[in-house]
Amino acid sequence: MHDEHPQIRNGSRRTMPTLSVTGKYVLAVLLIVLITLVLLPLRNQLTLANDSLLYMLVTLIAAVGLGTGPSVLAAVAGFFAINFFFVVPYHTLDVADPRDVLDLLIYLAAALIAGRLAAYAQRQAEAAGFNAEQQEILYGLTSALNPLTDPEAIRAELRLTLLGRMGADQVSFLPATPARPADPGETVVFALLEAGENVYGTVRAVFPQPLSPSRRRLLVACAGQAALALQRVDLSDQAARSRSLAEADRLKTAILHAVSHDLRTPITIIKTSAANLEELGDRLPADQQRELAHAIEVQADELNRLIGNLLDLSRLQAGAVALNAELNSLEEIAGDVAARAYTTHQAERITLNFPDDLPLVAFDYGLLLQALDNVVDNALRHEPPGERVVIRGRALADAARLEIVNHGPTVPDAERELVMEPFYQSRDGRSQKGGVGLGLAIARGILEAHRGELRIEDTPGGGATFVLTLPRSPEGDTLRPEKPPC
């Protein structure tokens, strides 16, 4: 991974070429020469005090721009220049007036002190500005890394920072190898992407000139921030994998339970009833033969329902369900559900309650029939003897609402979402009594595919009311799931 870029972001900058130590001292002397050439034509118009102040100004300029050493040289050179060119007798280092000696010494002392103070203040200002820049770079990098969840995006953000904000010419990433010892004279710098005990590689940066120790520390800090972001993504991926494995293990256990118990029960009843018919045959009374045959039929239907639910759940979770919605009557589909329940239970256990003005609603008839079958079957399993499940409907402003009212045990608030999860079994067996825990999960998946919802409310006086809400779609609308349900 390798990048070259002269300038990436607004506000990025290259490190300007700096003077060598010798160059700074030479420039300080040149400044004294320049001010001397400027003042010589004015020697007769200016006093010694005027000359001293102007030379001190040059000394301050040297202190701010070049540092302490060059400013000291400028002060000393100015002392001799004033003495040689502006103190009588001219062009010698002799001093005719003793008062001029005092003036020269005062100038030299003041220039040295002022130069040192100015240089110190300049260093402090530069350090403060440099620290602020470093903090800004680190803060900007950290803020940019926080929302990232892709390792390549994290490395790309670090690369942009080194190229655009720190002035690197090239940035590349190497395998996790130990960082090379830093040589202050090198322009190639290596830094480990290290967070705790984890190493995520090495960043290699090439700069146009050697980095100062503080800039090296900044580069290492940037690499550390990127490593922390990589560690966060790594830990998040590990947690997601752990959750997936735990969910897969839970589903495996639930399916094994279904195979070992819920599927075995109807198979055992079918096998026993068939064996009795085969062994006893005509010796059994006709009503007992019919009873055994009916038991075989009922358990075969139950077995078919369980297997169908497993297949339907896999289709819903894979998003392989396409809805062909047409305008249909909710009262009609509720009647079909009641008729199927009568066939299964050999008794009228459902009461329908629908207003005359309930409008038609667009839905996939076959899928919604399956969803209602599952919800009603769950309600009937928990309905006390002698009570009836009530299916009622009513129109809302932009939707239709179906309520399946059960008078059995109440579903605790903490379990109202859980009972609609695949294979969930509550502690008291209330969730999907007598089944593997798929019916409500499939029903909710079908409702969500219709852009509707399934939720549970309390029944006044005790029990659970299953509320199914369907949007009222225009005629001819074909609905597709926006996302895989369940």
CATH number (domain holding residue 212) = 3.30.450.40
For residue 418, being part of any structural domain is answered with: yes
For residue 412, tell me if it sits in a domain.
yes
Query: Do 323 and 478 form a contact (C-beta atoms < 8 A)?
Result: yes
CA 403, CA 390: separation in Å to the nearest integer? 8
In this structure, are 364 and 460 located in the same domain?
Answer: yes
Three-state DSSP class for residue 465: strand
pLDDT of residue 468: 93
Does 353 share its domain with 428?
A: yes
Both tokens of 286, joined, read 């006709």
- CA-CA distance, 202 to 462, in Å (whole number)? 65
Q: Is the CB of residue 118 less than 8 Å from the CB of residue 63?
A: yes
To the question of pTM greater than 0.85 for the whole model, the response is: no
Strand-pair category, 198-206 with 188-195: antiparallel
Structural domain includes residue 14: no
- Conformational region of residue 60, where left means phi above 0, alpha means psi within -120 to 50, and beta covers everything else: alpha
Same domain, 227 and 350: no
Q: Are 416 and 308 members of one domain?
A: no
Q: pLDDT value at position 11?
A: 38
Cα 152 to Cα 146: distance, rounded to the nearest angstrom: 14
Q: Is residue 465 part of a domain?
A: yes
Residues 436 and 379 in one domain: yes
Contact (CB, 8 A) for 158 and 203: yes
β-pairing, 350-353 vs 389-395, is parallel
* Predicted confidence pLDDT, tens digits, the chain (486 residues): 444 443 333 333 444 456 677 888 888 888 888 988 888 888 888 887 787 788 888 888 887 777 777 878 888 888 888 778 888 888 887 777 777 777 777 777 776 777 677 666 666 665 655 566 777 887 888 888 888 889 899 889 888 888 887 888 888 888 866 555 555 567 888 888 888 888 888 888 888 888 777 788 888 888 888 889 889 988 888 888 888 777 667 666 665 665 565 677 788 888 888 888 878 777 788 888 888 888 888 888 878 877 776 676 666 666 666 777 889 999 999 999 898 888 776 678 889 999 988 889 999 888 888 889 889 988 888 888 888 899 999 988 888 999 999 988 888 888 888 887 776 666 554 444 445 567 788 888 888 888 899 999 998 988 899 999 998 764 434 344 444 444
Please, where are the H alpha helices in 263-406? 264-280, 286-317, 330-345, 365-381
User: Is there a single domain that holds both residue 297 and residue 325?
Assistant: no
> Do residues 441 and 435 make contact, with C-beta atoms less than 8 angstroms apart?
no
Structural domain includes residue 134: no
Domain assignment present for 201? yes
Residue where a domain terminates, one of 62, 94, 129: 129
Let me know whether 330 and 458 are in one domain.
Answer: yes
Residues 350 and 448 occupy one common structural domain: yes
Q: Which residue has the tokens 């859980």?
A: 418
Same domain, 331 and 411: yes
Q: What is the pLDDT of residue 167?
A: 82
**332 plus 401 within the same structural domain:** yes
Angle 294-300-306 from CA coordinates, rounded to 5°:
140
Closest listed residue to residue 376, CA positions, set 398, 413, 344, 417? 344
Give how far Cα 399 sits from Cα of 302, 337, 360, 469, 471, Å: 33, 21, 10, 7, 4
Q: Report the domain count for the chain.
A: 4
In terms of residue numbers, what domain contains 452?
Answer: 321-471
244: in domain: no
Q: Is the CB of residue 469 less than 8 Å from the CB of residue 443?
A: no
Q: Among the three residues 94, 129, 164, which one is the final residue of a domain in this structure? A: 129
**Is residue 275 domain-shared with residue 305, that is, in the same domain?**
yes
Q: Are residues 394 and 455 in the same domain?
A: yes
Q: What are phi and psi of 364, to 5 degrees?
A: -80, 110
Radius of gyration, CA atoms only, the chain: 44
In a domain, 300, yes or no: yes
Query: Phi/psi zone of residue 381: left (φ > 0), alpha (ψ -120 to 50 degrees), beta?
Result: alpha
